[in-house]
Structure 1
Amino acid sequence: MDIESLKSFLAFVETGSFTRAAKQINRTQSAFSAQMRKLEQELNVSLFEKEGRNLVLSEAGLALRSHAEKLVGIHNQAIHQVKRYQDKHPFRLGCPEDYNDKILPLVIQTIQQAKPTCSIQVFSEPSVKLREWLDEGKLDAAIVTRAPDSEEGYWLASDQGVWVTSKKHAIKLHSNNQKETLPIALYQTDCKYHAAAIDGLTKRGTEYQLLACCNTSSALRAIIKQGLAVGAMGAISTCEELEVLTDMPPLPAVDIVLLTGANGHPLLDKSCIEQLTQNSETKKPTR
């Protein structure tokens, strides 16, 4: 088993998709598929199997995963020790603006403790854009939102969607907690809270005006704080000037995770990942 085949195999483990895995390692999907077939032929086992419409790891694939992670980890550690100048390469970290205040500092603190001389470049973009940049090799890691039932990435925190209004300029709701036409401000349509908010209001029969769609939490908070609209966002993104509304349509919970690039970066080695995971596990809720 050559190390590149194992890295490609772990790219599938990380993404759960031949298409995204191929993008991360800068190969065509056909070349990636051929590499996986060759690995299966070398081991004389099937590493993947169909589960509904999805492709998942077989029992043999699950067994290979732990060994592949160890072998690639040892390989990366060897590269790290021999080529220490790589530590001076900037670590490119993506993080949605929503998590800049409460999640980003914890991740950077862990990395800084592991390597005090690290150099980190932070890019604030929505999760969808950060995934694209990660696939294109523009980032070394990204803090993103995932669905609670997904196992993608390394768990950092959970967030619950909430409806909020301004404490100083609260929009007056009727006794049934509905305005005749309720002005709302939301994130862009690719946000899970956006679709859930619209769906919830529609099912409740609430008339609403979608005043604004924002791609940053600061813009969304500014509109809500001025009393121009009520909004839907994660509880992590709220601030002291905002008040959480009750008796509104339910919003989903999401997980916040760290995704890493297929090629890895010397700063984000096995020990650093383990430290991030340990710090997160102490805060992980019981489901």
Structure 2
Amino acid sequence: MDMDALKGFLAFVDTGSFTRAAKQIHRTQSAFSAQMHKLESELNVQLFEKQGRNLVLSEAGLALRSYAQQLTGLHNQALKQVRRYENKRPLNLGCPDDYNQVILPQLVALLRRMQPTCSIQVFCHPSATLRTWLDDGKLDAAIVTRASDSDEGYYLARDQGVWVSAPEFQCNDNEPLPLALFQNDCKYHASAIDSLTKQGRAYQLVTCCDSASAQCAIVRQGLAISAMGQLSVSTDLKILTDMPVLPSVEIALVLGAASHPLFDEKLLSELIHCVKI
């Protein structure tokens, strides 16, 4: 059955007249009449009958009415749902994996709240790599650690540097302190090395990672201690309070050169409130 014909049929149900039904669906009366005759021929039944001077639904017409209402209702609902995806394109989002546990889910929650049908591709790399990808047009946006003395992007949160170890780890003052640090462009890496050097504390750089999960796994096994942002510290690691003070860093969302439709003025104004730590 043709959906337009069913909608025309329901227009007659609403108005009780071919003339008024034709006006309701913006057709001529002759075109509407031809459409109804075609529907009757397709179903091989008579949908209308004369009752005095008026035209009313036949028994078959009454039977069709409820089904026509259901079918047109489902049709309209399907169109509404499918059209939510009109002009939709995926969002390519970068995020260092040390912000995966706390920052990323809260940003995704905001994006989903603003646009429930959004599809997000997440790429986990260090901030330096993500900036390059932004410049190359590979990403629409990226969560990054702000460079020192920089106001780049949209502020999300501040992360305090801390020293961590496995709960059972014991420092041996007669041996170099084993370290598992992030890559040497990380602010915590440089600060950790600098502070230990100034104290005259011997250390051994056991691993240099570009993944927070790898860094935490090494510390978790008691192979080394580490300096990292507090947001990256899982509950099974111990924060050390008797070590040199580490700096804090700011975390921001930086947008790519080509604007993605998700990042409209309303969403950008909500960014500063989206992260709660």
Q: TM-score range by the shorter chain?
A: 0.5 to 0.7
Q: Does 1:240 align with 2:239?
A: no
Question: Structure 2 CA distance, aligned partners of 1:148 and 1:197?
Answer: 16
Secondary structure in 2 aligned to 1:155?
strand
Contact 1:92/1:122 (<8 A) preserved: yes
Q: Does 1:100 align with 2:100?
A: yes
Picking from 184, 193, 197, the partner of 2:188 is 193
- Return the letter of the residue paired with 1:233: M
Partner residue in 2 for 1:150: 150
Partner residue in 2 for 1:224: 219
Q: How far 1:173 moved relative to its partner?
A: 4.6
For residues 74-113 of structure 1, the aligned pairs below 5 Å read 85-86=86-87, 88-113=88-113
Question: Structure 2 CA distance, aligned partners of 1:188 and 1:279?
Answer: 29
Question: Structure 2 CA distance, aligned partners of 1:172 and 1:209?
Answer: 13
Partner residue in 2 for 1:263: 258
- Return the letter of the residue paired with 2:200: G
Q: How far 1:277 moved relative to its partner?
A: 2.4
Contact 1:180/1:207 (<8 A) preserved: yes
Question: Structure 1 CA distance, aligned partners of 2:274 and 2:221?
Answer: 37
Question: Structure 2 CA distance, aligned partners of 1:142 and 1:153?
Answer: 9
CA RMSD of aligned residues (A): 1.6
Partner residue in 1 for 2:119: 119
Question: Structure 2 CA distance, aligned partners of 1:275 and 1:93?
Answer: 17
Contact 2:106/2:274 (<8 A) preserved: no
Partner residue in 1 for 2:274: 279
Secondary structure in 2 aligned to 1:255?
strand
Question: Structure 2 CA distance, aligned partners of 1:248 and 1:145?
Answer: 23
Q: How far 1:207 moved relative to its partner?
A: 0.6
Partner residue in 2 for 1:140: 140
Contact 1:171/1:230 (<8 A) preserved: no
Contact 2:162/2:240 (<8 A) preserved: yes
Q: How far 1:275 moved relative to its partner?
A: 1.4
Secondary structure in 2 aligned to 1:193?
helix
Q: How far 1:200 moved relative to its partner?
A: 0.7
- Given the two structures, how large is their TM-score scaled by the length of structure 1? 0.64
Partner residue in 1 for 2:61: none
Contact 2:153/2:255 (<8 A) preserved: yes
Question: Structure 1 CA distance, aligned partners of 2:180 and 2:273?
Answer: 36
Question: Structure 2 CA distance, aligned partners of 1:218 and 1:224?
Answer: 10
Partner residue in 1 for 2:56: none
Q: Which has the higher mean CA deviation after the structures are superposed, 228-237 or 146-155?
A: 146-155
Structure 2, gaps ≥5 residues long:
1-84
Secondary structure in 2 aligned to 1:213?
strand
Q: How far 1:263 moved relative to its partner?
A: 1.7
Structure 1, gaps ≥5 residues long:
1-83
Contact 1:161/1:253 (<8 A) preserved: yes
Secondary structure in 2 aligned to 1:271?
helix
Contact 2:94/2:122 (<8 A) preserved: yes
Partner residue in 2 for 1:202: 197
Deviations 1:185-220 (A, max 9, x none): 100111111111111111100011100001111100
Aligned length: 193
Question: Structure 2 CA distance, aligned partners of 1:237 and 1:160?
Answer: 10
Q: How far 1:248 moved relative to its partner?
A: 1.3
Q: Which has the larger radius of gyration?
A: 2
Question: Structure 2 CA distance, aligned partners of 1:120 and 1:189?
Answer: 30
Question: Structure 2 CA distance, aligned partners of 1:207 and 1:200?
Answer: 11
